[in-house]
């Protein structure tokens, strides 16, 4: 039953994570052509600035809140106290961040005021967002339900109201406005899950929240600062536009891989608190195997199809994105593994200090390489810096695992050889045997993607992969149960 719960929540969380970025996915071909690389680049640069203030408003409360709620899952009074303390804390930090944001604009920027203040809606969203509460309760279905309607409305409005390159502010208002409003219905779902409690102390966990904040801000150095530095150093909105679109495609693919992490945090935290080390390790080994199963084919697949995907998906004028995406595709595997190390092992077991060290290493590497490479290579230099930084994060995480002897690293990587073989076969056939004979159009892209999936799937069956065996066992089991249920 617990296994089914994790699988169900994984599916819910995949849907949730995809919904968060589903609008950029569907609208990207349209918006890329309407706003152009310059418009996309300006939005990316301004968004990178507001992200620092969103980060300050959030601190480390998202992951902390999820874990805190999972610890007191069955006690309504304790979880109510945890909820109200964190909700009030986030409200206070949001107000402070918003005030500083306004002062920053008048003292430093003074340009693009309308866009800058529209983006402030992202800061306000921090106070409204209580998805961490339902994630802690492992009720991912409610989050998906809550956000679906607003994502669909978002999609419709972009196509209805964004018509020319001058509609950048309208585009920003649609994206940020619906993002804020999508959190409101969750508050109406709190009934029966929390109660009135006394003795609320919103700042009593400040020290622990800060511990979660440090790795978060270090991570932002090489996920947001790179875009800011591209703008500061090159002064080119187009360079930021190329970087933004290529990275976004890679991060969309990454979402499917990292979605399991959010589901596993409360589950592993629960087993850790109960002292059930054997069951905790069992889930972790399965999680690593699942990460390789998805990440390796996606990484190699993106490399193979990028020269067709970019012109079809983004249109003319985005040719530099092809090379960027080929390198960014490595992030799917690297971040997938570092996410398993940090968010599925270190955080649930109360060792976020190890996560802090790993991402700090990455931040330092990224910052140093950005300063050296961006002046000479522009967005491509930032891309190389990001990939090297993520490699440093992943390697550092595994060094800690080896030292602590939590898991067998050799067992983790030995379980992955079949995925590298299947992925390598898929890459070779798609890149050298199929791609030269298909056109650079929607049909050609569809043929490449479908062929890649089929080749990889068949390769894993031939290699007798355990994940494939489990998949077929589950299908056969459901087919056998169906006739009985109808009787």
Measured distance between the N- and C-terminal CA atoms of the chain, rounded to whole angstroms: 23
pLDDT averaged over 10-residue windows placed end to end, the chain, 487 residues: 56 63 75 89 88 88 83 82 91 94 80 84 93 81 77 89 92 92 89 83 83 72 79 86 90 78 62 73 82 92 95 89 95 91 78 84 91 93 94 94 87 91 96 93 94 93 79 60 49
- Separation CA 251–CA 117 (nearest Å): 26
Three-state DSSP class for residue 216: helix
Distances (CA, A) of 83 to 234, 286, 337: 44, 31, 31
b/e 369-381 (16+ beta carbons within 10 angstroms → b)? bbeebbeeebbbb
Apex 374 CA angle, 250 and 382, nearest 5: 15
Using an 8 Å Cβ cutoff, are 226 and 243 in contact?
A: yes
Tokens of 308: 């067709």
Q: Which residue has the tokens 């993607």?
A: 449
Residue 194, beta-bridge partner list: 191
Residues sharing a CB contact under 8 Å with residue 156, sequence separation 6 or more, in sequence order: none
Three-state DSSP class for residue 194: strand
Give pLDDT, residue 253.
84
């Amino acid at each position: 039953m617990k296994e089914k719960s994790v699988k169900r929540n994984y599916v819910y969380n995949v849907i949730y994570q995809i919904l968060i970025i589903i609008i950029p996915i569907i609208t990207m071909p349209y918006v890329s052509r309407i706003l152009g690389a310059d418009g996309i680049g300006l939005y990316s640069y301004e968004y990178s600035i507001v992200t620092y203030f969103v980060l300050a408003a959030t601190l480390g409360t998202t992951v902390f809140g999820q874990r805190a709620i999972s610890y007191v899952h069955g006690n309504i009074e304790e979880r109510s106290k945890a909820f109200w303390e964190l909700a009030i804390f986030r409200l206070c930090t949001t107000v402070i961040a918003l005030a500083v944001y306004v002062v920053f604009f008048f003292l430093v920027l003074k340009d693009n005021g309308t866009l800058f203040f529209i983006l402030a809606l992202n800061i306000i969203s921090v106070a409204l967002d209580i998805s961490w509460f339902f994630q802690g309760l492992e009720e991912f279905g409610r989050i998906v339900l809550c956000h679906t309607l607003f994502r669909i409305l978002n999609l419709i409005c972009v196509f209805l109201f964004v018509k020319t390159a001058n509609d950048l502010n309208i585009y920003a208002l649609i994206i940020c406005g619906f993002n804020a409003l999508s959190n409101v219905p969750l508050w109406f779902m709190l009934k029966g899950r929390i109660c009135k409690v006394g003795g609320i102390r919103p700042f009593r966990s400040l020290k622990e929240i800060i511990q979660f904040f440090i790795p978060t801000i270090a991570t932002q150095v090489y996920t947001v600062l790179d875009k800011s530095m591209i703008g500061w150093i090159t002064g080119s909105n187009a360079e930021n536009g190329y970087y933004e679109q290529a990275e976004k495609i890679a991060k969309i693919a990454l979402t499917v891989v990292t979605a399991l992490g959010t589901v596993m945090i409360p589950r592993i935290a629960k087993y850790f608190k109960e002292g059930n080390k054997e069951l905790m390790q069992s889930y972790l080994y399965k999680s690593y195997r699942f990460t390789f199963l998805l990440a390796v084919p996606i990484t190699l697949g993106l490399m193979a199809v990028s020269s067709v995907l970019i012109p079809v998906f983004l249109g003319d004028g985005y040719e530099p994105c092809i090379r960027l995406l080929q390198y960014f595709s490595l992030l799917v595997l690297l971040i997938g593994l570092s996410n398993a190390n940090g968010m599925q092992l270190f955080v649930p077991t109360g060792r976020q200090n190890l996560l802090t060290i790993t991402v700090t290493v990455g931040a330092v590497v990224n910052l140093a390489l950005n300063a050296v490479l961006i002046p000479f290579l522009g967005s491509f230099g930032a891309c190389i810096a990001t990939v090297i930084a993520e490699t440093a994060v992943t390697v550092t995480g595994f060094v800690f695992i080896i030292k602590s002897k939590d898991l067998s690293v050799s067992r983790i990587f030995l379980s992955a050889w079949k995925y590298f073989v299947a992925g390598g076969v898929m890459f070779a056939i798609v890149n050298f045997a199929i791609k030269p004979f298909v056109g650079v159009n929607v049909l050609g892209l569809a043929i490449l993607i479908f062929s890649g999936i089929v080749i990889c799937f068949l390769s894993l069956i031939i290699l007798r992969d355990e994940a494939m065996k489990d998949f077929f066992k589950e299908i056969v089991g459901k087919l056998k149960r169906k006739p009985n249920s109808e009787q």
